[in-house]
Amino acid sequence: MEDVYILAVESSCDETAAAVVKNGREVLSNVIYSQIDLHTLYGGVVPEIASRKHIDKINQVVAKAIEDSKTELKDMSAIAVTYGPGLVGPLLVGVSFAKALSFASNLPIIGVHHIEGHICANYIADKELEPPFMCLVVSGGHTHLVKVADYGEYEILGRTEDDAAGEAFDKVARAIGLGYPGGPKIDKVSKTGNPEAIKFPRAKVGGSEYDFSFSGLKSAVLNYLNTASMNNEKIVTEDVAASFQQAVIDVLVGHSMEALDRYGFKKFAIAGGVASNSSLRAAFEKACEDKGVEFFLPPPILCTDNAAMIGSAAYFEYKRGIRHGLDLNAVPNLKLGER
Amino acid sequence: MKILAMDSSGLVASVAFLEDEKIKGLVNINYQKTHSQTLLPMLDDLLKTLGEDPKDIDFLACANGPGSFTGLRIGVATVKGLGMGLCKKVIEVSTLEALSLNWPKAEGIVCPIMDARRSQVYAAAYTFGENDTKPVEVIEPVNCEIGELLERLETLGKKVYFTGDGVPVYKEFIESNLKVPFVFPIAANEYQNAANVAILGKIYANEGKAKDACDVTPVYLRKPQAEREREALLNA
């Protein structure tokens, strides 16, 4: 069988990324230009600033990905690009650039769903992993419990009704003075905090039984901080962080394990930026072990936004014969499984 | 010399193909679809109709601003991708200077104005002397209040030829306020046109101003809102 090389581009948020992936599982290069320092000044991602940075860096990032991979543009089978979901300005830079590059080099263009990319990071991390399995995608913009029926076939079992898990991390981190980005900072200080110090709520929501809600938890943390400050009580940042983090993890693990019981999957994977949280990884590892379910998780570099995962997802799309046209557009609210 | 030019800085998406002295093809679309859906298919159609292989072009040219932030980035990202894939150099052309060719050889001041919202415009002003091969800038590209622009035009003391998508927006204001003679274009001549980008592109290519695709960058003339607000806060 002929080898398939995909050059992938990702620019849906604040990382300009490009990668070359062979046969969907072998990463030949993975270049990420992170703008995080720039957005830290504003306490979060500013779409217009992110878009401007993407256009400044995209050629250099793509050129470096090709160079690092020891391949050439002419060796590619296709060019892939994230076309949603994400911030429209940043997405448009990647989509416009990748389409033009595909046109100029006479290669097919494949638009990839960002969340499908996150899930596919697991195919890179474990070369033996095959569907069906269940995957929890947790990031700054997304919280989805997904049934992966086959390559490219997804069904959402649960999603957040309000804030994404990562968004809650950012908001709570800001409230307790840790700053942006919240995920890694809360993860770090939680290590010295007591996760049982404060009882924050574990929300059950009305919609699907596997849906999530994190805005109530966020409000509970803010209320706790206000009350404590009014009563002149000492706030132990580490304890607040650890207790908040534990509440998030309990809900994520709880819902996931219930869904595993119900659907009877033998494999469970996590993906997305929040999946690089060390306590979350440990909690899932233990929960899966207790259940006798095989657990998969990508290394942190493949959890945060990257283009290697997009190249992997595109490979399976390529094999299914999926190609897009030169009119491919950015779709900021693209639904999972939508073509 | 073959130049493939594009402009997606405003409402119109426009692509043009120039060979030596001739504009061989020009396509303009002024329709609801986003430039990201239209620009590249238009370019593909144009090349196919002309039977031109993109590999045979000498330079790419792109209107790099000012204009709609998103529109500019679609055009610039497209030209950066084309430049990389075709290994061709890119000529950046000011959107305003290209618009000024809507009044070629006008005897007075040509003033392209683009609507920048909140009673602001992106604008510049040019003259065309008899022996000039290209527009001569008399007001540099600016982002300012329309009233401020009119004051600057008055100090030049010549008849003003307006063009650009700011014309329908500020027509009444100009009629009531500008104290020097002026002319508005016919409606179809208000818009960006990639043929103008190609013509100026050729001049700049001959002056050695073509750049590597990685160095092409939009000219916004306006900082992002968050950045302006942050600066105001820091200065307060």
- Band of pLDDT at residue B236, cut at 50, 70 and 90: confident
What's the gap in Å between the CA of B84 and the closest CA on chain A? Answer: 7
Average model confidence (pLDDT) across chain B: 96
Judged against a pLDDT cut of 80, whether residue A206 lies above it is answered with: no
pLDDT value of position A337? 75
The residue to which tokens 């899932």 are assigned: A284
Q: Are strands A133-138 and B120-127 parallel, antiparallel or unpaired?
A: unpaired
The structure tokens listed for A131 are 């569907």
| B86–A104 C-beta distance less than 8 A | yes
Judged against a pLDDT cut of 70, whether residue A339 lies above it is answered with: no
Q: Which residues of A touch B83 (CB under 8 A)?
A: 59
Residue whose C-alpha is closest to residue B3's, from B146, B192, B152, B205: B205
Q: Are strands A26-34 and A15-22 parallel, antiparallel or unpaired?
A: antiparallel
More confident residue, A195 or B132: A195
pLDDT value of position B144? 98
Judged against a pLDDT cut of 90, whether residue B224 lies above it is answered with: yes
pLDDT value of position B125? 98
pLDDT value of position A265? 95
For chain A, positions 38-67, list CB contacts with chain B under 8 A: 41-42, 46, 48-49, 51-52, 55-56, 58-60, 62-63
Question: Tens digits of per-residue pLDDT, B99-120?
Answer: 999 998 899 999 999 999 999 9
**Amino acid at position A215, single letter:** S
Q: Chains A and B: how many Cβ contacts under 8 Å?
A: 108
Pick the CATH number of B2-95+193-220 from 3.60.15.10, 3.90.79.10, 3.30.930.10, 3.30.420.40: 3.30.420.40
CA distance B74 to A177: 38
Q: Tell me if domain B2-95+193-220 and domain B102-190 are identical in fold.
A: yes
Question: Tens digits of per-residue pLDDT, B45-104?
Answer: 999 999 999 999 999 999 999 999 999 999 999 999 999 999 999 999 999 999 999 998
In the sheet that holds A267-271, the strands lie side by side as: A153-159, A143-150, A133-138, A267-271, A294-296
Nearest to A100 among B38, B73, B82 (CB): B82
Q: Which of A55, A79, A95 to mutate to test the interface with B (most CBs of B within 10 A)?
A: A55
* Continuous H helices in chain B: 35-50, 69-86, 95-100, 146-156, 166-177, 194-206, 225-235
To the nearest whole percent, how much of chain A has pLDDT over 90? Answer: 94
| B82–A105 C-beta distance less than 8 A | no
Residue A21 · residue A311 · CB < 8 Å: yes
To the nearest whole percent, how much of chain B has pLDDT over 90? Answer: 93
Judged against a pLDDT cut of 90, whether residue A84 lies above it is answered with: yes
Please give the residue of chain A at the shortest CA–CA distance from B34: A329
pLDDT value of position B74? 98
* Three-state secondary structure readout of B53-75: CHHHCCEEEEECCCCCHHHHHHH
pLDDT value of position B105? 85
Domain range annotation of chain B: 2-95+193-220, 102-190
Q: Which residues of B touch A59 (CB under 8 A)?
A: 80, 83-84, 213-214
* Three-state secondary structure readout of B9-21: CCCCEEEEEEECC
CA distance A97 to A94: 5
Question: Tens digits of per-residue pLDDT, A243-267?
Answer: 999 999 999 999 999 999 999 999 9
Question: Tens digits of per-residue pLDDT, B151-169?
Answer: 999 999 999 999 999 999 9
Average model confidence (pLDDT) across chain A: 95
Please give the residue of chain B at the shortest CA–CA distance from A87: B70
Question: Tens digits of per-residue pLDDT, A101-155?
Answer: 999 999 999 999 999 999 999 999 999 999 999 999 999 889 999 999 999 999 9
| B230–A49 C-beta distance less than 8 A | no
Ordered domains of chain A (ranges, CATH): 5-121+302-319 (3.30.420.40), 132-298 (3.30.420.40)
Nearest to A92 among B41, B70, B224 (CB): B70
Residue whose C-alpha is closest to residue B68's, from B189, B220, B196, B224: B220
- Band of pLDDT at residue B233, cut at 50, 70 and 90: very high
Pick the CATH number of B102-190 from 3.30.420.40, 3.30.413.10, 3.60.70.12, 3.50.30.40: 3.30.420.40
Which residue spans within A151-296 are E strands per DSSP? 153-159, 267-271, 294-296
pLDDT value of position B92? 98
Please give the residue of chain B at the shortest CA–CA distance from A324: B37
| B79–A100 C-beta distance less than 8 A | yes
